[in-house]
Chain A
């Protein structure tokens, strides 16, 4: 599912709006609420909101710029996007000094190394937890159940994203046990796993070549109410890596075939293996089983694919996966090669 910042923005203001309506006048409230959607889209400032809501809206705008526009921008535009993004984050923090999403995103961009960013996240984790729990405790107890649940959920989200980022960063830094500790802590806090931190955990288990751990994680999904079956790209790549590392090529091939079956566009992505910048707000929100999702899982899977001594640059597992995908889908290989030569040509023209 991942986090959709725009949806969260909508939910925040929606609740604020509902809270502002007179409780006794139910019929009128329904009619007034009908105008909310239009006002949210066209006249946001006319809606009741706090500084923390305004700050979150700036986070949404910064996310749209940095996570969703920047990767496709030309060099010239990129500098402007980065500058705008930072300005919006600064403004968010000025409006709300506890806007931990903005604080985290700002730190992601300014810390000199993965290690330093992880250190920053570790240092302030407790502070973020305490603040978010405080926010949750401040929700009036007389709120209707459903609204209370949503408010409580929204209050904790900055912390959930904080810990999910910690886990991902620990994985990148080669601290796999730490990544697992953080993932399990988060799964306990949020059994439904809005953050999809179990995907990060799956890779950490694969890094530790812990097949039992991975399968225990997978089988805990159902009991915890996580409904998505374990045929997502992360779980499958983790399984594939473990089979490969145990030298069970036929099992690894079987997983690869399953992956190609559940993701119609997997072959090209598996041959190409592009590394994308991580989303700074959270893992990018993409449609399950889409081409984007497999690209994302592969990019995060670089920790598995690129390991080992391999002069070709793909890494040992990466080479194997790329070669095997090309063998299974020769058309996809041709498409990738055609695209690469086209890129080379246009590169020479410049």
Chain B
């Protein structure tokens, strides 16, 4: 989430409303001024609350950046500290603006709790937002994302869809994602990736093909991995083998990450940004697919027995100085 940018945009738009009519040039200048000193433009509780979240997320990110320097014990302690701090700031923000959706969402995500409990809480949150604001609509631009004030709601729904996957509610994940794609077709949050995973878990080939065509068939780590899973589940093994080779060739570290799953912490509040075709992209895709892969018990075994796949994984591991962990450990 590019929180700082959103804050600037929100503040500039609110000030614009007070100053209207404003020429485009004047608005550009206003935005520049806001960017230089956002807090000087905060003049209601809503933005006060949002700016608290922006600051808290920045502090949180700073702490994450140093995780590589921490040993396990330090990491566990620091992780707890920064999550608690983030959750506490969210509560502060909610005191200022009880309708601050981002604060409510992050407050839920920042607490370690069973996924089903998280699901129930996000379900409630969305239901309350629905009561207060009505159904999410695309708006005049045809994409709700272009309205910066609607983004928190989109983030909530995207997080909800991921929680659906984690609680094995795949049809709900698909429904949530397709409705997100209808209201925000540009899909800045990548709900289509979540959707692809849920569809292949349901072995919905038509759905997946629709999504793939919508994407122009040039996919990414989620699509490549989803295709492997789908073909495997449908028992089309030569297509599955081809898709697996494609996944390994086109997704950086694909074989390695599939055979050596990597720990990824909770998204706060949305999927971390990643450079296209990067190791991070593959890592996030494999992480999100984990509950679906766990449901096909011999999938990893099958993959590792394909020619060159294991070698490719170990080669990537060695080239990047990672440590290979044996499955028996």
Contact = CB atoms under 8 A, between A and B. Distances in A.
A95 interface: no
Contacts of A303: 295
Give the secondary structure class of B's interface. helix
A177 interface: yes
B115 A310 contact: yes
Given A247-B123, A319-B116, A115 B166 contact: no
Interface string A190-212: 00000000000000000011000
Interface string B139-179: 00000000000000000000000000011111110000000
A173 B203 CA distance: 13
A245 B19 CA distance: 50
A115 B237 CA distance: 12
A39 interface: no
A170 B233 CA distance: 9
A330 interface: no
A33 interface: no
Contacts of B133: none
Contacts of B291: 307-309
5 contacts: A176-B233, A307-B295, A309-B291, A311-B114, A316-B167
B73 interface: no
A247 B233 CA distance: 26
A312 interface: yes
A213 to B, nearest CB: 12
B235 interface: yes
Contacts of A310: 114-116
B203 A176 contact: yes
A80 B169 CA distance: 44
A172 to B, nearest CB: 7
Contact of B297 (A170, A172, A176, A315): A172
Interface in A291-350: 303, 307-312, 315-317, 319-320
A264 interface: no
Contact of B235 (A116, A178, A307, A309): A178
B203 A307 contact: no
B296 A174 contact: yes
A309 to B, nearest CB: 4
Contacts of A315: 168
B297 A173 contact: yes
A113 interface: yes
Contact of B166 (A246, A309, A319): A309
Contact of A115 (B119, B172, B234, B301): B301
B114 A173 contact: no
A308 B115 contact: yes
Contact of A317 (B168, B202, B294): B168
A278 B309 CA distance: 32
Interface in B296-312: 296-299, 301-302
Contact of A247 (B115, B172, B301): B172
B54 to A, nearest CB: 29
Contacts of B115: 308-310, 316
A114 B298 contact: yes
A174 B297 contact: yes
A319 B118 CA distance: 14
A320 B168 CA distance: 12
Contact of B233 (A175, A312, A316, A320): A175
A87 B171 CA distance: 48
Contacts of B235: 170, 175, 178
A209 B167 CA distance: 13
Given A175-B233, A246-B172, A309-B291, A208 B202 contact: yes
B172 A173 contact: no
Nearest to A309: B166
Interface string B101-117: 00000000000001110
A115 B170 contact: no
Contacts of B299: 174
Contact of B234 (A113, A177, A312): A177
Q: Find the residue from A113, A174, A208, A244 having the highest chain B CB count within 10 A.
A: A174
Interface string A24-45: 0000000000000000000000
A310 B294 CA distance: 12
A113 B301 contact: yes
Given A113-B298, A115-B298, A320-B116, A175 B167 contact: no
A208 B203 contact: yes
A308 B167 CA distance: 5
Nearest to B163: A309
A227 B243 CA distance: 45
Nearest to B166: A309
